[in-house]
Structure formats: C-alpha cells, structure tokens
Amino acid sequence: MNQQGELIQVNSDQDVVRVRQLVRTVAVAVKLSLVDQTKLVTAASELARNTLVYGGGGTVEVTTVDNGRRPGIRIVFADQGPGIVDLDLAFTDGYTTGSGLGLGLSGARRLVDEFDIVTAPGAGTSITVTKWCR
C-alpha cells in the first residue's frame, strides 16, 4: 500500500534543509527508531545535496510505504543533470568530482536498507532509497 508522497523542488541550500525537515517529520510519524531517523535524515541530506550540486537541481519525493509486515519510508531523488559515467568509481569511498569528502553517495547507500540508482550519461540520475521500521 503506497500513500501519496510529498514533493520538494531542490534548487538551493534552503531546499536541502527543507528536505531534511520533511524526512525527519515523516520518519517520526512512522515511528522509526532514533538511530534510523538520524541515518535516514543524513542519507537524505547527502543525496539531496548531490541532486543540487551535481545534478543541477531536481526533485525529492518522500512517500510512506508498507510491505505488509512493516512500514517504511521511500525517498526518490531525481535530476536531469549530466548523469554518472562510471558508477563503480562514483561509489568508491573518497572519490569525488567536486570538493566534498567523496563519501556522500557511498555513505548514503550504507545508511539505508534499499538503494536503487538509475543513471546514464546525459540522461540525469534517479536514486530511490527505502528504510524499513525494525
């Protein structure tokens, strides 16, 4: 059973803050544990910033989901940016084309339960992450 999600346009640093606040609110609402809340909010912060910095802005959609046994949160980060050429390289800890630590993408994958990425050079990037209640 999927519920109607909330969509946020990400075009500035303030929008990343809004994404964080929304994810935290939803995480509290589905009763994620404090550790999982923090992990998901941090992952959302990383990915939303990637959408902004590397994707040139995009959208973030937060939906609550239920797999029949437990509830969870699904977040989709989509941009129409340049896409990722070498996924293996992008997921290497410490690798960055920008000026960050190079841990955002790989770190975010370790912070969530499910991580799905669809990207192609020139065709934008779409990342779907899911965190389930324990």
Partner 1 sequence: MTLTAEEAARFAGLLEDNSDALVATWTERVAATLRGRLSHAELQRQHSELRKAFQQALSGGAQAIGDEPAAELRAQLSDLSASRARQGFSVTETAVSVFAFKAAVLTIVDQGGGSEAALRDYVALSAFVDEAALFTSDSYVRVREELIADQAEQLLELSTPVVKLWEGVVAVPLVGTLDSARAQVVMERLLQTLVDTGSPYAIIDITGVPAVDTQVAQHVLKTVVAARLMGADCIISGIRPQIAQTIVALGIEFGDIATKASLADALRYVLGKTGQAKRLGR
Using CB under 8 A as the criterion, which residues of the chain lie in contact with partner 1 when the complex forms? 13, 17, 20, 24, 34-35, 37-39, 41-42, 45-46, 49, 93, 100-101, 103-104, 106-108, 110-111
* Residue nearer to partner 1 on the CB measure, 66 or 113: 113
Q: Which is nearer to partner 1, 121 or 134 (CB)?
A: 134
Helices 34-53 and 104-111: angle between axes, nearest 10 degrees: 150
What DSSP element (H or E) covers 91?
Answer: none
Assess contact for 79 and 93: CB atoms under 8 A. Answer: no
Q: How far is the CB of 102 from partner 1 (least distance, A)?
A: 8
55 with 24: CB under 8 angstroms? no
CB of 36 to partner 1, least distance (A): 9
